[in-house]
Amino acid sequence: MFKTLIMFILYAFLWFISYLFPIDYSYYSEIVLPSFAPPTIFYIIAWTIIYLLIAFSMTSISYSYKIKDIPMSYKISLLINYLFNQSFVLFFFGLRNNFLGFISCIGTFISSLFFYQESLNLKEKSTLALRPYVLLSFFATILSLTIYLLNI
């Protein structure tokens, strides 16, 4: 039980790591936003929940399999998704680049579908925690495209 808790905390920490770097989040309020853009607090709450759900899913799979027995396809889809997800904060807020933020969102959404499928192949119940992630990354992609087009 203690080992599982430590794994969960480690996995959750990895997903929150991009928020440890000093970034000016005021950029979001400085750009033209579409009418359907949620307030900033929505992102804080939603992504916190999403990252905890991802950590839960990863912990569930890690608990069911030895690390060496987890297929490489799962590990690769997880890594690609992680890199796209984490790059958004750097591209959008750090570089203030709406286009790269949009590319990061597309990559996050597409790779979240692969990550979801790979998780489904290993443990169907673990994907219940990933469904909100897929939906939020889809919404973020639409929002990011709209932001890019409104701010060209």
Domain residue spans of the chain: 2-16+36-150
Instruction: Name the band, by pLDDT with cuts 50, 70 and 90, for residue 20.
Output: confident
**Average pLDDT over every residue of 117-132:** 93
- How far lies 128's CA from each of 9, 21, 82, 116, in Å? 19, 30, 18, 9
The separation between CA 30 and the C-alpha centre of its own chain, rounded to angstroms, equals 24
pLDDT over 80 at 6, yes or no: yes
**Average pLDDT over every residue of 120-139:** 94
pLDDT score of 124: 87
pLDDT in tens, 28-61: 989 999 999 999 899 989 999 999 999 999 999 9
CA distance 142 to 108: 12
Place of tokens 């750009």: 31
The separation between CA 26 and the C-alpha centre of its own chain, rounded to angstroms, equals 21
CA distance 115 to 50: 14
